[in-house]
A and B are shown apart, each in its own frame.
Chain A
Amino acid sequence: MADSGGSGSTASTILQAKETFEIIQEISRLLNTGLDTETLAICVRLCESGVNPEALASVIRELRRESAAVKAGESNH
């Protein structure tokens, strides 16, 4: 999962990756993070590459707010 551009992994690996991702998704759901699949995927990849998770979380929040603001602006028009 960490390297989608990597070599053709065996099916088991892909399966494992998928499983893992599902687990993470479930956890995310339990914790009520509000992350959709794609965002979660990107974030996991970022975390794996060594980004500071707290910083990343704050960025997410920021972006969400931004988007909310934008959408609010849009919807107002």
Chain B
Amino acid sequence: MPVSHQNALREDGKSNLNVGGTSNNNDMSDGMASGTTSAALVYKLCSHIIGLSSDVLTPSYQLALRTLSCISTAAIESDEFEVSEKIKKRLVKEKKEEDAVRFAELHQKLKGSIVLKNRWAVLCFLYNLTGLSNKYQTKNGPHGFCFAKFTMTSPLRNVGFTNTSKSYSNQQSRAVSTGKSLCTRTGSEKMVFTSLPSSYQLTHSGGSVDQGHGNLTDSGNGSVCSNSSSSRVAHMAALFSDREKLEGILVPVTTKKVISSQVQKQGSRTSNELGVPLLPESILLREVLFAFQGIDGKFIKMQPGKDKFHIDSKAGICGQVRRQLLRLTELGWMYNKVDKFCESQSYNKTLGLVGQSFVAALQEELSEYYRLLAVLESQLHNDVSTEGTYVSTRSGSLTLHQLVVWTLDPFVRMKQLAALIDSCHGQKGGALASTLYSYLHHADPSIHGLVRHVLSVVVQPIYKMLSHWIFSGELEDMYHEFFVAVNPSVPNTSLWHEKYSLRKTMVPSFLSLSQAKKVLCTGKAINFLRMVCHDHTSVRPRDEQTVRADASTESLFNQDQDSDFQRLLEAIYKETSCHVLKSMFAHYKFTDHLLAMRRYLLLGQGDFIRHLMDLLHEELPKSANMLYLHNLSGILESAIRATNAQFDSPDILQRLDVRLLEASVGDSGWDVFSLDYHVDGPIGTVFTPQCMNAYLRLFNALWRSKRMEYILSGMWQAQMTYSRLLRTLPGVLPILHYCHFILSEMVHFVQQVQYYITFEVMECSWAELQQKVVSADDLDQLIAAHEAFLDCIITRALLDEQSKDVMTQLCAIYDLISKFQDIQTEFWQQGLDEIAANKALESQVNAKTEMGKWGVTEAELEVRRQKQLEFKKKTVPTTKAQLCVLASSYQDMVQKFLLMIADHTDPNLRFLSFRLDFNEHYKSRNSRLQTSFTYQHRRRYVK
């Protein structure tokens, strides 16, 4: 409004000056506006106060006008109540309570009158002109610091005046130039000192009053500046009421006290040890704040070579403060470290999701830190910029000590973060989570909270991957951070065994290995169902959302207290595995196939095998390359049809087939024949090719021993029929007896061995397998049980590597048996020939006699007799010799076999040896067998 007035003024030109009081300003008044306008009043004011002629007045007048027009007020409360309160407060502060009461009364009266329109303006004006009260209301911090500081001289003059108005600066500079009190000495630095504003306000809010007082103090102090003069003092004193003068006089006493104390401190604090003038606190604070952000300030810089902050030794900082600053800059160092880590990791392309979330958590912490820094900086800025306003004293502006206290907590946090970074360097995925987890067990709750927060952020990607895997069997792992690894090149047939594996390094330490295995199994099962069984039904009928609510990421690493995750995992695992097993048993008839294996490949179906052998008996003795597969398959078919095997399901029968092994030279059909069973699809997961190999080997061994049995039984039959016949031949009886003897030995042996294999080896293991199959929890267990079964059988049937000697021995025995069969058959043949020849002769004789001729000619008889003699003399002894040899070698072999198995670690084999030698038939012939098989003796035989 004053502006508009002024403009109006200029436009108006002339107007009446209706001014009371002094009117010797007609010259001016011509150019002035009419009477009671503001300008005129101002002019009057000027003239009144200064009381000079008009030309001297002009500059002041113009200045006044300018001031009034261009000063913009900042945040003046146009609230009368507030102003009055302020006034009262001030009065109370000065311990003038009665005055305050009086003022309140007057104010009430004023309110009552309607004359004044702009009460608050008047009050405000009066308030702003109040003089003396706050002069010595310095900001007494808990340290003598503040006093010390503002008595220091500073090499930095005129630093950053933030004044808004020229008049202020004029006033200030005038104050400076008059060079009065201690305040003015430090007037130039007032912008920089945070403790100064109030004291400075005192100097300038009183205006001339302070000057007067300044004079007084100076005079009291003795450190009078040149410009002051006692005369002015006198004049000043005359200007004021008595009361003020009293106060004015009172004041120097107190200031003297204050100043003297200040002087004392001043002596120790004007400069640091080197004599360099000390830096003001706010500069140091600013430097420290820069250091907190890792930026080099003017005096505190990061040393390029070493990794630490360095304070410029030439700066005006004393030793104690220096150490304090260095302590504070440690926080900046920590910050640097964390920040650099975050930055470097952001360029790392192989960082992976877990690493990225770690960086994100760190950056969250850093933003908290920035917030704190922003608060500190704003406070510092505010303190600096409150110079020169009318606002009353600020309490709580920043000092170094406050900074130390406030940065204590961030310091601890930053330190922890730096420690985390150090330990996690170069790790990723689950390994990173494990490292962070190891920091979780910290007793300090704030650190615990911090690490917990970081860990929960870091674990989120892992949890996501995990839940995705166990719910839908899919692996979204671009950076290979998850502990389940997939090998995409593996085909579906071996999906279960080879496609998915456990990456042990990435298993976080808060998950146990069994849990990790369960996770792997669950996901594998889902994939198995989908790919191999083509079963796309969802394993989880429940909504995934509800399940997600069951467990959170925290429960993953909080498993001591929170078993949500474990429960979830168990539930899913059970469901999925059950589904798989159900599908295997019900849909793919796993048990049926297992049973079929047992019946056919392991010779369980006795009648079928026997019949097959009967049928193949003529075919197989042929040499191997003469065999044709289709012939054999035809035989197989007929065997199936003729026996109980035909009642099996056609699917199983289809899979049964003949297989011819590789034939080497001299092999007969017996060596190359084998049955085969085709497996595919999900069944193939359990019956892997290795398993099938094992089955075939077993079949081979069992088939061979079966064949021996078959041979022996055939021989026995032959013996029964032919021995009666051949008894009549001379010299044959001992041979027959001997053969019988050998045969029964062999029969006993083979029977015992068969018994052992069938009952002790196979049936027991089979029972175990059946049990395990029924109680299996998941496919892995099923597979394991099956493999264990096969391993066990193979070992105990002497088919594995260790029992090779024993097996060879057994095979040798079998060979002997076949040889015996050959000898036997030959002997029968010869014997039968002989008998047949005899019979023929007889019949011839009979026939001839019938015909009335001589029965037999002499020649024929002679031939006959020759033959007989030959038979008696040659065939019989040779056969006997052969048999002897055979028998003795058989004995040796059996004894050796007995020795081998008697020392065997398997107790069942030892029992076999007892059974084989139940009547000590072999023991009596072998001294070694006679020694008892106690521990000592066995030790001697250890190979």
Q: A-side interface residues toward B, CB under 8 Å?
A: 1-5, 13, 16-17, 19-20, 23-24, 26-35, 38-39, 42-68, 70-72, 75-76
Chain B contributes a number of interface residues (CB within 8 A of A) equal to 79
> In chain B, what residue has the closest Cβ to A72?
B232
CB of A57 within 8 A of CB of B129, answer yes
* Sample (26) of A-B pairs whose CB atoms are under 8 Å apart: A5-B18, A5-B35, A20-B110, A27-B103, A30-B91, A31-B90, A31-B103, A31-B130, A32-B247, A34-B209, A43-B125, A48-B116, A50-B118, A58-B67, A58-B128, A58-B167, A58-B168, A58-B207, A59-B67, A60-B45, A62-B67, A63-B49, A65-B171, A65-B207, A68-B236, A68-B239
Contact B67 A32 (CB under 8 A): no
Tell me which residues from 173 to 200 in chain B have a Cβ below 8 Å from any Cβ of chain A: 174
- Whether B390 pairs with A54 at a CB distance below 8 angstroms is yes
Distance in angstroms between the alpha carbons of A15 and B46 in the assembled complex:
28
Q: Interface centre among B116, B125, B168, by most A CB within 10 Å?
A: B125
Q: In the complex where A26-B106, A71-B235 touch, is A60 in contact with B122 (Cβ < 8 A)?
A: no
Q: Are B68 and A3 in contact (CB under 8 A)?
A: no
List the B side residues contacting A24 at CB < 8 Å: 110, 116, 122, 126
Chain A residues with CB under 8 Å of B727's CB are none
Q: Does B38 contact A (CB under 8 A)?
A: yes
Instruction: Determine whether the beta carbon of A70 is less than 8 Å from that of B64.
Output: no
**Cβ proximity bits B147-180 to A, threshold 8 Å, 1 near / 0 not:** 0000000000000000000011001001000000
Instruction: Give CA–CA (A44, B120) in the complex, Å.
Output: 11
**With known contacts A4-B20, A75-B231, A62–B171 Cβ distance under 8 A:** yes
Asked whether B241 is an interface residue with its Cβ less than 8 Å from the other chain, the reply is yes
A16-B115, A50-B2, A72-B231 are contacts. A33–B129 as well, Cβ < 8 Å? Answer: yes
List residues of chain A with CB within 8 A of the CB of B60: 62-63, 66
Query: Which residue of chain A is the closest to B94 with respect to CB atoms?
Result: A32
Q: A4-B36, A47-B125, A67-B50 are in contact. Are A62 and B231 (CB under 8 A)?
A: no
Q: Please, how many angstroms separate the alpha-carbon atoms of A26 and B126 in the complex?
A: 11
Count of CB-CB pairs between chains A and B under 8 Å: 217
Chain B residues with Cβ under 8 A from A23's Cβ? 106, 109-110, 113
- The answer on a CB contact under 8 Å between A51 and B247 is no
Residues of chain A contacted by B68 (CB below 8 angstroms): 51-52, 55-56, 59
Given contacts A34-B240, A51-B38, A52-B71, contact A16 B114 (CB under 8 A): yes
B45→A46 contact, CB < 8 A: yes
Q: Which residue of A lies closest to B240 (CB)?
A: A34
Task: Please encode chain B, from 52 to 78, with 1 for each CB lying within 8 Å of some chain A CB and 0 for all others.
Answer: 100010001001100110010100100
Question: In the bound complex, do residue B129 and residue A34 qualify as a contact, i.e. CB atoms below 8 Å apart?
Answer: yes
Which of A42, A68, A72 is packed against the most chain B CB atoms within 10 Å? A42
The residue among B44, B115, B127, B229 with the most chain A CB atoms within 10 A of its own CB is B115
How far is it, in angstroms, between the C-alpha of A71 and the C-alpha of B229 when the chains are bound?
12
B87 in the interface, Cβ–Cβ < 8 Å?
Answer: yes
Pick the contact of A55 from B67, B129, B174 — CB < 8 Å? B67
Cα A34 to Cα B42 with chains together (Å): 18
Name the residue on A nearest B70 (C-beta).
Answer: A55
Q: Are B244 and A32 in contact (CB under 8 A)?
A: yes
Q: Which of B45, B71, B90, B96 has the most CB of A within 10 A?
A: B45
B684 within 8 A of A: no
Interface contact A62-B167, CB-CB below 8 Å: yes
Contact between chains at B113 and A58 (CB < 8 Å): no
Interface residues of B (CB under 8 A from A): 1-2, 5, 18, 20-21, 35-38, 41-42, 44-46, 48-52, 56, 60, 63-64, 67-68, 71, 73, 76, 87, 90-91, 96, 99, 102-103, 106-107, 109-110, 113-118, 121-132, 167-168, 171, 174, 206-209, 211, 229, 231-232, 235-236, 239-241, 243-244, 247, 390
Q: In the complex, which residues of chain A have a beta carbon less than 8 angstroms from the beta carbon of B247?
A: 32
CA A3 to CA B645, docked complex, whole Å: 133
Separation of A73 and B50 alpha carbons in the complex (Å): 13
CB-nearest residue of chain B to A56:
B125
Q: In chain A, what residue has the closest Cβ to B59?
A: A66
Minimum Cβ distance to chain B for residue A39 (Å): 6
* 8 Å CB contact of B64 from A52, A54, A59, A76: A59
> By the criterion CB–CB under 8 Å, are A70 and B52 in contact?
yes
- Top 4 nearest A-B pairs by Cβ distance? A61-B207, A53-B125, A57-B128, A33-B129
Q: A42-B48, A49-B38, A54-B124 are in contact. Are A33 and B130 (CB under 8 A)?
A: yes
Q: Contacts A24-B116, A34-B129, A68-B208 given; 10 further ones with Cβ under 8 A? A: A33-B129, A39-B49, A54-B128, A54-B390, A57-B129, A65-B171, A65-B208, A66-B50, A70-B50, A70-B52
Selected contact of B122 from candidates A3, A42, A44, CB within 8 Å: A44
Rounded to whole angstroms, the CA-CA distance of A17 and B115 in the bound complex is 6
In the complex, A4→B263 CA distance in Å?
Answer: 55
Least CB separation from B247: chain A residue? A32
The residue among B48, B128, B244 with the most chain A CB atoms within 10 A of its own CB is B128
Shortest distance in angstroms between B565's beta carbon and chain A's nearest beta carbon? 68
Which residue on B lies nearest to A14, using beta carbons? B115
Complex CA–CA separation, A64 to B87 (angstroms): 22
Contacts of B236 in A (CB 8 A): 68
Contact B127 A31 (CB under 8 A): yes
With both chains docked as a complex, state the minimum distance between the C-beta of A45 and any C-beta of chain B, in angstroms.
6
A65 and B102 CA atoms in complex are apart in Å by: 30
Q: How far is the CA of A24 from the CA of B5 in the complex (A)?
A: 26
Q: Name the A residues within 8 Å of B171 (CB-CB).
A: 58, 61-62, 65
Q: Name the distance in Å between A60's Cβ and chain B's nearest Cβ.
A: 6
Question: A5 to B34, alpha carbons, bound, how many Å?
Answer: 11
Known: A54-B124, A66-B50, A68-B235. A32 touches B131 (CB 8 A): yes
Q: Chain A: which residue is nearest B96 at the CB level?
A: A30
Query: Contacts of B232 on A, CB cut-off 8 Å?
Result: 68, 71-72, 75
Bound together, the chains give a CA A45 to CA B91 distance in angstroms of: 25
Contact of B115 among A20, A34, A54, A66 (CB under 8 A): A20
Q: Using Cβ atoms and an 8 Å threshold, which residues of chain A touch B76?
A: 52-54
B129 touches which of A46, A51, A60, A70 (Cβ 8 Å): A60
Q: Which residues on the B side are within 8 Å of A53 (C-beta)?
A: 76, 121-122, 124-125, 128
The CA of A71 and the CA of B52, in the complex, are separated in Å by 10
CA–CA, A38 to B49, complex, Å?
A: 9
Task: Tell me which of A29, A38, A49 has the highest count of chain B C-beta atoms within 10 A of its own C-beta.
Answer: A49
Q: Which residues of A contact B51 (CB under 8 A)?
A: 67
Are A32 and B132 closer than 8 Å at their CB atoms? yes
CA distance A24 to B119 in the complex (A): 10
> How many angstroms from the CA of A38 to the CA of B21 in the assembled complex?
8
Alpha-carbon separation in the docked complex, A56 to B2 (Å): 11
Q: Is the CB of B45 within 8 A of A54?
A: no
Known: A20-B116, A32-B243, A39-B45. A76 touches B106 (CB 8 A): no
Closest residue of chain B to A68 (Cβ to Cβ) is B208
Distance in angstroms from A2 CB to nearest chain B CB is 7
Q: Is the CB–CB distance between A48 and B2 below 8 Å?
A: no
Of A17, A54, A67, A68, which is within 8 A of B73 by CB? Answer: A54
Query: Which partner residue on chain A sits nearest B122 by CB separation?
Result: A47
| Contact between chains at B235 and A75 (CB < 8 Å) | yes
Residues of B within 8 A of A63 (CB): 45-46, 49-50, 60, 64
Q: How far is the CA of A71 from the CA of B236 in the complex (A)?
A: 10
Query: CA of A65 to CA of B129 in the docked complex: distance in angstroms?
Result: 13
Question: Could you tell me the distance in whole angstroms from the C-beta of A25 to the nearest C-beta in chain B?
Answer: 10
Bound-state Cα–Cα, A4 to B125, Å: 21
The smallest C-beta distance from B828 to any residue of chain A, in angstroms, reads 144
**C-alpha spacing A13/B936, complex, angstroms:** 140
Instruction: Across the interface, name the chain A residue whose C-beta is closest to B98.
Output: A30
Across the interface, name the chain A residue whose C-beta is closest to B244: A32
Known: A31-B126, A38-B48. A64 touches B208 (CB 8 A): yes
B38, A46: Cβ atoms closer than 8 Å: yes
If A17-B115, A34-B244, A42-B41 touch, does A28 touch B235 (CB 8 Å cutoff)?
A: no
Chain A residues contacting B102 (CB-CB under 8 Å) are: 26, 30
Known: A42-B44, A52-B68, A70-B52. A61 touches B208 (CB 8 A): yes
Q: How far is the CB of B104 from chain A (nearest CB, A)?
A: 10
Instruction: Pick the residue among A2, A5, A52, A67 that contacts B49 (CB under 8 A).
Output: A67
